[in-house]
Amino acid sequence: MDYDEENNSTVTEYSIDPKPILFSILLFVEIASILCSLIILIYFFFHWKSMINKALQNHVIFLLIIVSLLYTTLDLPFTLNSQRIGYDYPQTVSFCRWWYWIDWTLLVNSLYLTAIASIQRHILIFHNHLLQINRIRLKLYYIPLIFSIIYPATFYLITIYFYPCEMPTYDYVQYCPYPCYCDNLILYTIDYMINTVFPVVIIIIIANIILVCRVIHSMKKIRRNHFDIWKRQKKLTLQLLSISLLYIIGWGPVTVVSVIQMFFMPNIYDDIPDIYYVTFSIYFICTMQSFISLFALPELLSFIKKKLKQILSKETVTPVQTILPTR
């Protein structure tokens, strides 16, 4: 009997599911981020006078670390659990509303804090004398920071909890349905443009480009006897760029894809399913914030290096035993 291998053979395609890999990476980063955030906050607590009272540029870092810690402890564990079991839990409307509120509030908090820091860094570098006046410091520095904390929480509290509609139940879905206001195309577009596109593209990217150009231009005018000024400008600029690049890299691709979906290709996620994994970059923004902030604080890095040297030096020193002669 002849056996036709060509007709009876089957082709098996092997594909790797990236979700378990992303889950493992995100879980590791979450644990490390929490530890890093706690180290930074403890250092701030014991060095409050030098790190906060006398250093305005560290205020936004302090707030970003708090946002990062809240995100990794209150929000991200539910995301990881959903990736692990395949559905959101607990499956209640009240939980979904709270989860969307805390998630979107913290993400926009971090965006607005970075955007405001990008503008304020121009004042800290080139017009620092203005912040010596209490009235001006309140208007140009403290009120914008307070706004970046209160505004997102208030906006999403109103749109998620008080928009007149009823959220769908869990009868036929595995994941939390979007809040009702998202069905209003105008309101959803305004939300996305003001709370995501505007701070990412208009403020963070443009403000940082202008800042770099201004610093390079000022460096040409600064003489050698003003080395301290140049060193301070360099430190403040690199500190901001390290934080801003995280948000540009994390939010940039997602923002571009979302704008394409809203205005050009509404079914882009159906036509190109793999593009869905681009959205995973958002999960790493707040979690990576603590590591970026750690390297943006040279005082803390020096403190850690000093402590590590002391620990290592104690371990390498071995006690010398004195042997007494016997009679």
Q: What is the pLDDT of residues 175-186, one digit of tens each?
A: 888 898 988 989
| CATH code, 232 | 1.20.1070.10
Q: Is residue 27 part of a domain?
A: yes
Q: Is residue 245 part of a domain?
A: yes
Q: Is residue 139 part of a domain?
A: yes
3-state secondary structure of 92: coil
Range of the domain at 293: 19-298
pLDDT given for residue 171 in this prediction: 55
In whole angstroms, give the CA distance from residue 295 to residue 230.
20
Q: Which of 7-16, 58-67, 154-163 has the lowest mean pLDDT?
A: 7-16
- Of 19 and 117, the structure prediction assigns the larger pLDDT to 117
pLDDT given for residue 168 in this prediction: 61
In whole angstroms, give the CA distance from residue 282 to residue 43.
27
pLDDT given for residue 173 in this prediction: 64
- Of 233 and 191, the structure prediction assigns the larger pLDDT to 191
Q: Is the pLDDT of residue 6 over 50?
A: no
Q: Is 321 exposed, middle or buried (0-12, 13-18, 19+ CB in 10 A)?
A: exposed
Q: Is residue 36 part of a domain?
A: yes
Helices 59-70 and 93-126 sit at what angle, rounded to 10 degrees? 160
Tally of CB atoms within 10 A around 56: 16
In whole angstroms, give the CA distance from residue 75 to residue 30.
11
| % of the chain beyond a pLDDT of 70 | 85
Q: Is residue 170 part of a domain?
A: yes
Q: Is residue 238 part of a domain?
A: yes
Q: Is 113 exposed, middle or buried (0-12, 13-18, 19+ CB in 10 A)?
A: buried
Strands (E), the chain: none
CB 79 within 8 Å of CB 166: no
- Of 187 and 2, the structure prediction assigns the larger pLDDT to 187
Q: What is the mean pLDDT of the chain?
A: 82
Mean per-residue pLDDT for 305-314? 81
Q: Is residue 303 part of a domain?
A: no
How far is C-alpha 77 from the chain's CA centre? 16
How many domains is the chain built from? 1
Q: Is residue 10 part of a domain?
A: no
pLDDT digits (tens, 9 = 90+) for 235-294: 788 888 888 888 888 888 888 888 788 777 777 777 777 777 777 788 888 899 999 988
